[in-house]
């Protein structure tokens, strides 16, 4: 019996195993977000702040990692490999600060949105979106095999999968938002509408409560304007477009969820993504 070859011993994790692991990770993420939804309003201030910081760091980590890869691809196209500028311009504290700010903003919005999710169908949409992201990334990696540079193909596959999944998730959330039931504010003044929705928002954490009440005031303004301008609902095409613009905040939930997923999931190994013998390391 011939001994096994070194290449077989050092072969990368099969694509199917990576996809299953990523799908399991995203399933746990959705379960964790659901548990947060159930308990956010009763968490103390320290718990809410800790969750906000964790979301911020996770989003920032994923965005910073991918941004440096895109920067490296840009610099490689314009600068000589022997130059010192690629190392100096590869991204450092300023790039990290940018992603921390974005993560803090989206993390805070996501916490408020999680506490106010009205229907269970939203969780099914998030879970399906996680599976679509995993499958889309695997298919993108297969399509890029032999075409994209092996060092940058994992980022390209992730980018395409995130955009495709994001579009589908926003569409699904908008459909659910259009089908949801809202209070009738047609006979109320704007002040009454704001007071009515804000009055129903409460939380143990003062920081979260303030965010919930601000979001409720924004909802009251949007719903009041929508019901004044389009009192017949979405029976006409202009009214449908108007309500879609009014409910466009669903994009924040989609963006926050996908950025969390991006931070949790490592990029695919180079050899797994491309099947290329040049096992160039991904720039970290």
Taking only Cα atoms into account, the Rg of the chain, rounded to an integer number of angstroms, comes to 23
Coil/strand/helix, residue 243: helix
> Which tokens is 111 given?
């916490």
Rounded to whole angstroms, the Cα distance separating 227 from 77 reads 53
Q: Which long-range contacts (CB under 8 A, 24 or more apart) does 167-170 make?
A: 168/129, 168/132, 169/125, 169/126, 169/129, 169/132, 169/254, 169/257, 169/258, 170/250, 170/251, 170/254
- 90 contacts 66 by C-beta, under 8 angstroms: no
Kindly give the parts of the chain with pLDDT less than 50: 1-12, 271-284
Contact predicate 151/270, CB 8 Å: yes
How many residues does this entry show for the chain?
284
Q: What is the pLDDT of residues 33-74, one digit of tens each?
A: 999 999 999 999 999 999 999 999 999 999 999 999 888 888
Q: Do residues 259 and 165 touch, judged by C-beta distance below 8 A? A: no
Output phi, psi for 10, to 5 deg: -100, 20
Which own/partner pairs from 40-43 qualify as long-range (CB within 8 Å, at least 24 positions apart)?
40/111, 40/114, 40/115, 40/203, 40/208, 41/115, 41/202, 41/203, 41/204, 41/208, 42/203, 42/204, 43/203, 43/204, 43/205, 43/208
What confidence tens digit (pLDDT) does each residue in 86-113 have?
777 878 899 999 999 999 999 999 999 9
Q: What pTM was estimated for this model as a whole?
A: 0.83
Q: Which of 272, 203, 232, 191 is nearest to 10 (CA)?
A: 272
Short-list 266, 258, 261, 271, CA closest to 15: 271
């Amino acid at each position: 019996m011939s001994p096994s070859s070194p290449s077989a011993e050092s072969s990368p994790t099969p694509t199917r195993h990576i996809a299953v692991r990523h799908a399991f990770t995203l399933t746990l993420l959705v379960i964790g977000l659901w548990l947060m939804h159930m308990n956010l309003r009763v968490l103390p201030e320290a718990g809410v702040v800790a969750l906000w910081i964790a979301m911020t760091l996770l989003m920032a980590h994923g965005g910073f990692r991918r941004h440096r890869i895109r920067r490296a691809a840009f610099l490689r196209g314009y600068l000589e490999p022997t130059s010192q500028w690629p190392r100096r311009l590869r991204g450092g504290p300023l790039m990290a600060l940018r992603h921390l700010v974005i993560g803090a903003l989206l993390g805070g919005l996501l916490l408020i949105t999680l506490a106010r999710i009205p229907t269970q169908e939203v969780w099914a949409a998030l879970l399906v979106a996680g599976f679509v992201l995993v499958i889309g990334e695997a298919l993108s990696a297969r399509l890029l095999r032999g075409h994209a540079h092996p060092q940058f193909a994992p980022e390209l596959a992730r980018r395409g999968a995130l955009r495709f999944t994001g579009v589908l998730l926003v569409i699904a959330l908008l459909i659910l938002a259009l089908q949801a039931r809202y209070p009738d504010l047609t006979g109320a003044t704007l002040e009454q509408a704001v007071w009515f929705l804000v009055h129903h928002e409460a939380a143990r954490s003062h920081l979260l409560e303030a965010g919930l009440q601000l979001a409720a005031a924004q909802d009251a303004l949007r719903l009041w304007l929508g019901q004044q301008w389009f009192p017949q609902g979405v029976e006409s095409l202009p009214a449908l477009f108007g309500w879609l613009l009014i409910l466009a905040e669903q994009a924040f939930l989609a963006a926050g969820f996908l950025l969390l997923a991006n931070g949790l999931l490592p990029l695919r190994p180079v050899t797994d993504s491309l099947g290329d013998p040049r096992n160039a390391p991904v720039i970290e």
